[in-house]
Structure 1
């Protein structure tokens, strides 16, 4: 039996985080941790060793998610997908520079979430 994908996510809105947690589990993924700020996220990613990270760009009013993206690209081989309500060109360009594996605009449904997660995988799945 295949092991479920381990996902770590960073979301500062507790209601959205709880909803995301439930949605990921419903889709068959294993949530290996979550955080609401960059410092805790980096520590959690180091210990949780996720297959994929989902990263909210704006955390507590600051663009901390971009710093997490920079960390992931520079220090790990973990693919990551940004989740954000921002679709303006300046933020998209800043995000693009961190080389994410995907970009999900909030609000998104389960199907969009699953596609973003599956498309971010850098190696072939054995399903």
Structure 2
């Protein structure tokens, strides 16, 4: 659940992320994708997590379905934040142990605990 007022109401974050995805897939391998967007008027970064039991092919050339999706939304006026968080998330995604734990998590709090244990800088 995204808290009310967290995203600017007049900005279509999904469209921003999809436009970025059209440039180059954000499928990083290991069944993980990290779509991302720089959002005008956003005050602080947001990480939205989703998972798919069946998996999603993120591009026409994909051979492995994506099961874990981290949507990273950062303030447009702070581009270095996006680079920092992308690196941290990619590092977290490399761990097969962490990926398996994320697939098994039963609550948002459990997800945060797993991500925080893997890399405290991601949750901040």
Q: Which has the larger radius of gyration?
A: 2
The structure with the largest strand share of the pair is 2
In the superposition, the TM-score normalised over structure 1's length comes to 0.32
